[in-house]
Every structure is written in C-alpha cells, then in structure tokens.
Structure 1
Amino acid sequence: MYIAQAYNHLHDWWRYLLPIAGLLGLSALNYAVILLLDIDVDTIIKEEIAKKGSNRVFLENIAPMALFLVALFVWVKYVHKQSIRSLTTARKKIDWGRFWFGFGIIAVTTIVLTGIDYYANPDDYVLQFDLVPFLFLALIAIIFIPLQTSFEEYMFRGYLMQGIGVLAKNKWVPLVLTSIIFGGLHFLNPEVEKLGSVMMVYYIGTGFFLGIITLMDDGLELALGFHAGNNLVAALLLTADWTVFQTNSVLKDVSEPSAGFDIIAPVFIIYPIFIGIMAWRYKWTGWKDKLLGKVEPPPLIEEDTIDYVH
C-alpha cells in the first residue's frame, strides 16, 4: 500500500528523472574530481578541522542536506502534486510514536554496547568531553542531523522506493535498487578508505534493513527515527580520526580499526533482531507480498490526492 500511493499522484517516469539524475550526477562528479585530482579526503578533513574547528566543519558538511530536503519536498508538492504525508506513510497521519520507537531502539543499543566496550577495553578510548564545544556540537547535531537523515530516508525509502515501485510494478526491485544506490553513495566515506570495501556490506546491508522495515510497516516512520537516532548518537557519543563524523563527542576511539566482526555483526545479527522486535511490536504479517509482491493501483483514491495518472 505504501508504494501504491504514488499511483494517486502524478507519477510519469520523467518526473522522477531530474532528482535521480541530480543525486547521481553530483555523486559521480564528486567521485571523478577526487579520482582525477588524486585528492586525499582524510587529509583535507583533518586540515579543515585544524583551521576551522570540528564543529564548523561538521556544520558545513551537514547543513546542505537541509536544503536538499526542502528542495525534495518542493519538487514532490509541485511536480508530483503529492502530500508529504503520503510520501511518509500509508496511514491517515504520520505516526510519531513509531519514529521515537525507531530512534530509541538504536540509540539505547548503541549507548549500551559502547558503554560495555568502554569498560571492557578502556585503552581503546579517550574521554574528551569538553562542555562548551560539546554544547555547540549538540545544538548543531540536534537541529541538522534529523534533517540530514530525513533527506536520505525521504529520497531513498520514500521518493525512489515509490517511484521505482510504480514503474517496476513490484516491490523487490525498488528494495534492491534503493539499497544498492544508498550503499554505493557512501563509497567515498573515510571509513571505506580506512577499512576497505567490506564496509560496503554494512552500508548496503543498512539500506536493505531500512527498506525492509519501510515496506513491512507501510511507512517511513521507523526508518526516519532509526536513521536519526543512529547518526545523532554517533556524532555525540563517539568519534575517531577515520570516521565521517569527526566531532567534539564524549569519547574518542583510538584503537586500530579492523574490518572484522564489528562490520558484519549489525547486518547479520543486530538488524535481524531489530526486525524481529519491530515485527512483534507492530504485528507484521504478509511478508512475501509486502517485500516481493506486485504494486498495483489502489482501488480508492485518498481524500488528499489531487490527480490520478494512468
């Protein structure tokens, strides 16, 4: 039902072309510049932090996502004649309880696991808490990280999931494609350079996890909350010299990273547990149809729709 809502609005293939081309084009251009000019991204990040401070660099990197989110909402409203509510959920209204459940499940898990590892391996961490820089970081993160993660969720699990779904007329194609594209666009993250291409298992696996809970729950609320909770806790609690978020967080990981169990555990152990908990809480049924079934026009047009396009 979530994907099929796009049928109630203007969903010609060419309407999806510009946002997709813009996203992939900017990413390809960024990759080409880095490759052709042989740019060391990690070195540039460190130089910028030394010159401007980590809070300012963090803000400069994350603030454009807020503009991208606004642009996407404007495009959806005026080009597709679609409400933000129907891009968000198949429910009559956005369920903020689901958002906070998704937020809480990853925030609590991350804090607990980090705390356990901190006390088990204290030499791997440095306590770098500094109140004033941390408060500025918290202000920036609380405002802008939800906007950053919301853009990614609305773009991939929302806009592209619905657009590819009505074009492919099934659910597995958008699930696979959005997950691969989502993961692929993280290829330039410093973590990939440091740990190798095995990190793509984590990024693509995360895309599949977020796509699965979106399709099973008929809405973005869980994915929106989960993604925001994951990135917000990551920025405030723990940083390292080789991560994409190098912030004035509470802790700094000074251990030598390795691409091992820590990379694959979330995808093959933690995410399935989360899916099981969510499935139990929200009584998910019809797995085969919701993940692999056909996408067909809904029998009724909802009250807030404007046009139906054959």
Structure 2
Amino acid sequence: MNYIQQAYKGDLGFWKYTVIPVLFIGMVVLNMIAIEMFDIDQGQVIRDEIAKKGENLMLIESLATFVVFLAVLLLWVKFIHRQSLTSLTTSRSKIDWKRIWFAFFVWSGITAAYVFVGYLLDPDALQWNFKPNKFLGLLVIGVLMIPLQTSFEEYLFRGYLLQGIGAKLKSRMIPLIVTSLIFGLLHFANPEVGKFGNIVMLYYIGTGLFLGIITLLDEGLELALGFHAANNLIGALLVTADWTAFQTNSIFKDLSEPNVYINILIPVFIFYPLLLLLFAKKYSWNNWKEKLVGKVERPADIDPINEIEGIV
C-alpha cells in the first residue's frame, strides 16, 4: 500500500477530516481578520511582548498552541479514526528514523553553511548576538518544542490532509496542490509578509509543495519531518531579525534589509531541486509521474463497506 492508501487502515469519514483542520485554520484566519480589521502592527506587538517577557518566554508562548494541537491531532487520529501513528507517518512497516535524521542533518548543514558564508561575505549584515545564558535557554526550548511545532504542521498537512483528501478524491495531485496552497496562505499574517510583500508567498507555498513532493515520492513523511524541524530549529538558533515571526536569542542578528534572492529565490529554485535530486539518488525513487499525479485506488484487501460508510 502506498502512503495515501494508509488512510484506509483507519475509520474513514470525510466529516472526521474537517474537525481539526477547521479548528486550526479557523483560529489562524480569525487572527488574520483581527489584524486587518483593527490595523494591528504585528511587529510592534511582538516587540512590546518581548520587552515585557523576554524572547525565550515569548517563544514558549508562540509554540505552545502547536504543541497542544499536535497532541489533539494524534489523539483524534488514534481514537476517532482508529489509525496508528505509523500508518499516518509512513507506508513502511515502521517509522524510518534514519530518514528523519538524514534530512535533518543535511538541511541543518546547508542552512548553517549558508548563514556563515553570508557572514564572511558581508559581516556588517550580521551582528554577533550570542549571550550564553539566554542562548542556552533558547537551545533547551528549541530542542524540546520546535520539533513538536514543525511535526504538527507536517502531520496536519503532509500527513492527515494529504491522506484524507487523497483517499476521498482518489487523487495524488489534488491533495498535493491543495495542502501546499493552504500551508502557504496560512503564513500570510506573518511579519515577513509585511517586509517582503506578497512575493514571500512563493517561499511558503514553494516549501509546502517541496515537502509534499518528497512525501509522495518517498511514500512517507519522514524526510519532511526532518527537513522542517531543521529549517525552524537551526534558523531560530543561528539568526534572528526584528521582522521575523521567531525573534530569538540567536547567535546572530540580521541587520540587513531582506533580500528576495537570498531569502526566497535561492532556497526555492536552487536548494530544493538539489535536495530532490539528492533524496532521489539516495532512496532510488522511480515512477515519479505515477507517484505525483496518479490515481489512488482502494486497496483490494480493504472492505468496501468501510469506504462507502466512511467517505461518502
């Protein structure tokens, strides 16, 4: 059974796939509406909160919602869908932690190298911001909570919704596009949008598309989990800026004006394709067309009553 077909191992039901996404997406959308209606300067709000609480406490508060939603999602899948965590994660017989760590360390290395090369080329752009005690607090918070935040997003979009929409519509391409668009657009209220403009959506949607593609090609969520954790954790530890959603006690503080080429175009159009080629070679991916745009069939060994009563 392929990755999307893992949904058939649980109790299907289209309404079941709407509850958690509607709660989470609704919360984000209401926040966006409030920001727009009351003309809230989100950057100023973040700065004011940091001035009162400090970066580390602010980070904990920012991540806490995602940790709660991850727990709710996994409990919902276990008790409402009666689906295992393994089948939500991968088409393999067990979760491949080597894949998670491989993606994590590869993207961590690329991210760190990218930052330090940038520092060598333009040292005035990055200010040394290292404060041992505060950084240690950030390190503990980051290691404990950021992977939970990124795991929620992966399990929701590249796991739960990709499987649910794919099983409902018997398609691979439609859930890939839909989840990538939703994932990207939910970042619309981030402070980065105000700084870059709408072109930053290319990065968010492009990242969602990349993560969806590697999930479908690898028939599992492991690479996406590792990549996303590295992206947020290493980024939070290495660089902060006054215009980012995560403002942390990182090693460097970016004083430069954001650059579309450096921050958006190079990662999306150079790094992501290179990673695709690396993963494809390492894991011997083949039959790309079928895996990305092929139909999803009900497995022959699944009782059709489950499909009729659950999805329709």
TM-score range, shorter chain: over 0.9
Structure 1 residue 179: deviation in Å? 0.2
Residue by residue over 1:133-186, the C-alpha shift from the partner in whole angstroms, topping out at 9 and shown as x without a partner, is: 000010000000000000000000000000100111110000000000000000
Equivalent residue for 1:288?
289
**Partner AA of 1:179 in structure 2:** S
Equivalent residue for 1:220?
221
Counterparts in 2 of 1:92-241, with a 5 A limit? Answer: 92-241=93-242
* C-alpha contact 1:9 1:309 (8 A) present in aligned 2: no
SS of structure 1 residue aligned to 2:124: helix
CA distance in 1, matches of 2:136, 2:21: 36
* C-alpha contact 2:184 2:205 (8 A) present in aligned 1: yes
Structure 1 residue 23: deviation in Å? 2.0
Report the number of matched residues. 306
**Partner AA of 2:111 in structure 1:** T
**Partner AA of 2:83 in structure 1:** Q
Give the gaps of 5 or more residues in structure 2.
none
Equivalent residue for 2:11?
10
**Partner AA of 1:160 in structure 2:** L
CA distance in 2, matches of 1:125, 1:8: 50
SS of structure 1 residue aligned to 2:33: helix
**Partner AA of 1:223 in structure 2:** A
Residue by residue over 1:213-260, the C-alpha shift from the partner in whole angstroms, topping out at 9 and shown as x without a partner, is: 000000000000000011000110111111111100001110122334
RMSD across aligned C-alpha pairs, in angstroms? Answer: 1.3
Choose 157-166 or 250-259, whichever is displaced more: 250-259
* C-alpha contact 1:8 1:309 (8 A) present in aligned 2: no
Q: Does residue 1:86 correspond to 2:87, yes or no? A: yes
CA distance in 1, matches of 2:44, 2:9: 49
* C-alpha contact 1:196 1:259 (8 A) present in aligned 2: no
CA distance in 1, matches of 2:301, 2:128: 57
Residue by residue over 1:8-57, the C-alpha shift from the partner in whole angstroms, topping out at 9 and shown as x without a partner, is: 22111111121121122112211111111111100000001111111111
User: How high is the sequence identity, in percent, across the aligned residues?
Assistant: 51
What is the TM-score normalised by the length of structure 2?
A: 0.96
CA distance in 2, matches of 1:8, 1:284: 24
**Partner AA of 2:280 in structure 1:** A
CA distance in 2, matches of 1:148, 1:72: 12
